[in-house]
Amino acid sequence: MTTSTPQTMYEKLWQTHLVEAAKGETPLLYVDRHLIHEVTSPQAFANLRFHNRPVRHPERTIATMDHNISTRSIKIDAAGEGAANQLRALAINCKDFGIELFDMGHKNQGIAHVIGPELGLTLPGTIIVCGDSHTATHGAFGALAFGIGTSEVEHVFATQTLRQNKAKTMKIEVKGHVGAGISAKDIILAIIGKTGSAGATGYVVEYCGEAIEALSMEERMTVCNMSIEFGAKAGLIAPDQTTFDYVEGKEYAPKGEVFEQAVVDWTNLKSDTDATFDAVLTLEAKDIKAQVTWGTNPGQVISVDGIVPSPEDFSDPVEKESCVSALNYMGLTAGTKMTDIQVNKVFIGSCTNSRIEDLRAAAGVVQKYEGQQVVETIDAIIVPGSYRVKEQAESEGLDKIFTDAGFEWRLPGCSMCLGMNDDVLEEGDRCASTSNRNFEGRQGRGSRTHLVSPEMAAAAAITGHFVDLNA
């Protein structure tokens, strides 16, 4: 691309997808890839039918069943009639509109944000949307990826475009290298702890710096996944050799000469050296410790070697009040050591942390506790992100490591991250969860969620409390 003004990656993605910016209208962007699932699509299909409109490019849309499926059975009605209705509706809609669907038990089935990358549906330099806020995950590839509402799902179906206002840009640089045992989850939680849960509202964030470049693709996905948790429209990481190596050879990825041309284009995507951002945040990687949330939004997070904060620690009146209500909901007392907090549930899964590297990391921790079992009073479940992840994990014997230690090894799905199926916490349950949201009631009415990395979740299952694995 030749241009006189230095551009950020976001601006390049914007420009290469701008179909039209008509006077008085919100700019129209082209959508390359649309991922859909059973929960946020039925009303969009219904409107298409009402207006007698087709899906313009059914080949650009891929459907999966993930949100409310059972993790115990591949039967479509195993998670109740409401779920089954939506799943059946998705199957009918996909058939009627010519969309490829990975239905119950299909080898490609899994969480949308896990299967997109692993199948090569997620490509750098593209715009990817899905009726799910964690679509930001795909930004790990240098794709502009964001969650949309059902009216927008319908708009993409009918036109393969979306109207979008241009966001502001924020650069988040993580300098240097993280210490041993610090995961991608710790990096993103530490970032959110700094910005607060709405710190990037109105922005598209670009993560950069040595600590980000050193991450594997799966780790980058974990970082970008939680961009929405501090309000960002999307998160981006510049594609590099790590990205190209990951994409090459994937089932739906371009092949041969087309792939080679793609790599040339993708290489030019990175922000120009002197591009300016509307906001910049810098973190020193060496300062990042293992993180645990103590409150009811992901910004309420602290190092595992810290203590539960007190409302007095906050000067901002809104944060102070949020702290009071969070401590009350979470049943925590200020000053308690994070490592003294006992849990009775453990969930390892979700589009944030259910990929093979996450499962390997969790299994590695289990092995460190040689022969020790999950605490008897704790229910600990492991939910792989997709059938491919599940198969890979089983081929490496990870399932055996988990089940031998007393974890339950489940079928893929979104599961307890949002509890739309029967994987729901009871009132008062306290859960070490590798998911992305610790909102009140998110995993079940009155339940208490602590967001952590897969390593920390595995350790909590075996010890009964949070552990500073790096102490």
155 binds another protein (CB under 8 A): yes
Q: Find the binding residues for another protein in span 290-319 (CB under 8 A).
A: 297, 318
Q: Identify which of residues 268 and 342 has a Cβ nearer to another protein in the complex.
A: 268
Regarding 131 and contact with another protein (CB under 8 A), the answer is yes
Residue 394 sits in the site that holds another protein (CB under 8 A) = no
Does position 323 interact with another protein (CB under 8 A)? The reply is no
What one-character-per-residue DSSP string does 353-387 give?
S-SHHHHHHHHHHHHHTTT----TT-EEEE--SBH
Nearest CA-CA partner of 126 in 141, 112, 136: 141
Q: How many Å apart are CA 174 and CA 189, to the nearest integer? A: 13
Which residue of 89, 214, 279, 307 would you call a contact of another protein, by CB under 8 A? 89
User: Is 239 one of the binding residues for another protein (CB under 8 A)?
Assistant: no
Residue 77 · residue 84 · CB < 8 Å: yes
Pairwise CA distance, residues 282 & 445, whole Å: 37
46-75 residues in contact with another protein (CB under 8 A) are 46-47, 51, 53, 68
Of 179-187, 215-223, 251-259, 303-311, the window that binds another protein (rule: CB under 8 A) is: 251-259
For position 198 contacting another protein by CB under 8 A, the verdict is yes
Instruction: Single out the segment in contact with another protein by CB under 8 A; choices: 22-30, 205-213, 338-346, 388-396.
Output: 22-30
Among 30, 252, 314, 369, binds another protein (CB under 8 A): 30
With beta carbons less than 8 A apart as the criterion, state whether 360 and 448 touch. Answer: no
Please state at what angle helix 217-225 crosses helix 356-368, rounded to 10 degrees.
Answer: 100
Summarize the annotated binding site for [4Fe-4S] cluster as residue ranges.
Answer: 351, 414, 417
Q: Strand locations in 314-416, DSSP E?
A: 345-348, 379-382, 408-409
Q: How far is the CB of 48 from another protein (least distance, A)?
A: 9
Tell me the site size for another protein, rule CB under 8 A: 74
Q: How many CB atoms lie within 10 A of CB 85?
A: 15
Applying CB under 8 A, which part among 28-36, 185-193, 389-397, 404-412 lies near another protein?
28-36
Residue with tokens 């460190």: 368
Other Cβ atoms closer than 10 A to 135: 26
Distant-in-sequence, close-in-space partners of 343: CB < 8 Å, separation ≥ 6: 378, 430, 431, 432, 450, 460, 464, 465, 466
For residue 9, give the DSSP letter: H
What binding mask, one character per residue, do residues 363-392 give for another protein by CB under 8 A, x or -?
Answer: ------------------------------
The region of 214-222, 252-260, 274-282, 361-369 touching another protein under the rule CB under 8 A is: 252-260
420 in contact with another protein (CB under 8 A) = yes
H/E element, 280: strand 279-284
Q: Identity (one letter) of the amino acid at 125?
A: G
Verify binding: residue 152, another protein, rule CB under 8 A. Answer: yes
* Contact with another protein (CB under 8 A) among 25, 59, 274, 376: 25
Q: Which is nearer to another protein, 328 or 367 (CB)?
A: 328
> Do the Cβ atoms of 323 and 361 come closer than 8 Å?
no
* 133 is an interface residue for another protein by CB under 8 A: yes
- 320 scored as a contact of another protein (CB under 8 A): no
Q: Which two tokens stand for residue 182?
A: 């610090």
Question: Which DSSP string corresponds to 67-129?
Answer: TT--SS---TTTT-HHHHHHHHHHHHHHHHHT-EEE-TT-TT-B-HHHHHHHHT---TT-EEE
Pairing type for strands 28-30 and 18-20 reads: antiparallel
Minimum CB separation of residue 401 from another protein in Å reads 31
Looking at this protein, which amino acid is placed at residue 246?
Y
The yes or no reply on residue 138 touching another protein (CB under 8 A) is: no
161: contact with another protein by CB under 8 A: yes
Measured CA angle at 249 (ends 243, 253), to 5 deg: 75
Q: Does 439 bind another protein (CB under 8 A)?
A: yes
CB closer to another protein out of 271 and 436: 436
Judged by CB under 8 A, the residue of 210, 287, 321, 394 near another protein is 321
Candidates 189, 418, 451, 462; binder of another protein (CB under 8 A) is 418
| Contact yes or no for 148/161 (Cβ under 8 A) | no
- When asked if residue 151 is in the footprint of another protein (CB under 8 A), the reply is yes
265 binds another protein (CB under 8 A): yes
Closest distance of CB 287 from another protein, Å: 26
Distance of closest approach, residue 419 Cβ to another protein, in angstroms: 6
For another protein, the binding residues in 166-195 under the rule CB under 8 A are 167
In the beta sheet, which residues pair with residue 110? 386
Residue where the block lists tokens 């849960």:
197
Smaller CB distance to another protein: residue 369 or 439?
A: 439
